[in-house]
Amino acid sequence: MKSLIAANWKMNMDIKSSISFINNFKKYIKKIKNKEIVICPSFTLLNKINESTKNTKIKLGAQNMHFEEEGTFTGEISALMLKDVGCEYVILGHSERRQYFNETDDMVNKKIKTAFKNNLKPILCIGETLEQRNNNKTLKIIKNQLINCLKNIDENEIKNIVIAYEPIWAIGTGKNATPQQAEEVHKFIRELLSHIYNNKISSNVRIIYGGSIKESNIKDLMAMKNINGALVGGASLNPKSFACICGFNNST
């Protein structure tokens, strides 16, 4: 299956710096093959980046959206708006949203349903805290998050989901999960998907890893059987670094 490498720019970049990023990035990724590359900038940059990535292999994603399609929700963004501006993907349930904006599995579940209804592909983020890992609760937490977030989601739709395993202790800390630690959880997620849906679906869903991905650790992580791509924060803000990450097994 084609690896998916997504950039999560978080609350960084402005119009000028993002256009300069895209212009450089386009040059660096010329030789990259067999990757799906997605950039998820802030809402204010979506339109410009959509224009500057037309006819390239770069796809567009958003970092969040509301579960309602329209209405009196001051300050929110809808799935229809994201589609309108050219998004194909949307990150949902990122741990920073859960931690700082009180997003729950129930809200994430509603968002996933709305995303599918509007032909947006969700990148669902799940992951444990350091305390939960140290108390051997990782797999239990992952199981609960996955079951709650995927409640009543049809098997015709689920094939388009991307699941991002992002251990919270690895995000922005410079301390990535080892390939073995990540693979254990990815394998567990795949088995769970096969249990909830079936083998065919589970083997086709991309399960990507996020948390302190950099040029120096991408190759070993991607060598694991059940790791099908990466969600990259800090290292995605530099076009050369992000291009190297995207081309981890190509010569760039």
2 CB contacts (<8 Å, ≥6 apart)? Answer: 34, 35, 36
Stretch that binds ligand PGA, among 21-29, 30-38, 135-143, 205-213 (CB under 6 A): 205-213
End-to-end Cα, the chain, rounded Å? 21
Q: How far is CA 64 from the centre of its chain?
A: 11
Q: Does 114 bind ligand PGA (CB under 6 A)?
A: no
Q: Which residues are catalytic?
A: 94, 166
Q: What whole-number distance in Å separates Cα of residue 238 and Cα of residue 218?
A: 15
CA angle 124, 125, 131 (to 5 degrees): 155
Tell me whether residue 58 or residue 232 sits nearer to ligand PGA (CB atom). 232
Q: Does 212 bind ligand PGA (CB under 6 A)?
A: yes
- Among all residues, whose Cβ is closest to ligand PGA? 233
Tokens of 33: 């093959």
Tell me whether residue 8 or residue 202 sits nearer to ligand PGA (CB atom). 8
Q: Which of residues 32-71 bind ligand PGA (CB under 6 A)?
A: none
Strands (E) in the chain, as ranges, are 3-8, 35-40, 58-62, 89-92, 121-126, 162-165, 206-210, 229-232
| Residue of 207, 232, 243, 246 interacting with ligand PGA (CB under 6 A) | 232
| Residue of 61, 127, 179, 210 interacting with ligand PGA (CB under 6 A) | 210
Q: Which of residues 171-200 bind ligand PGA (CB under 6 A)?
A: 171-172
Q: Is 115:92 a contact under the CB 8 Å cutoff?
A: yes
Q: Does 231 bind ligand PGA (CB under 6 A)?
A: yes
Tell me whether residue 211 or residue 229 sits nearer to ligand PGA (CB atom). 211
Q: Is 10:63 a contact under the CB 8 Å cutoff?
A: yes
Strands (E) in 94-183, as ranges, are 121-126, 162-165
Site string for ligand PGA, 121-160 (x = CB under 6 A): ----------------------------------------
User: What residues line the site for ligand PGA (CB under 6 A)?
Assistant: 8, 166, 171-172, 210-213, 231-235
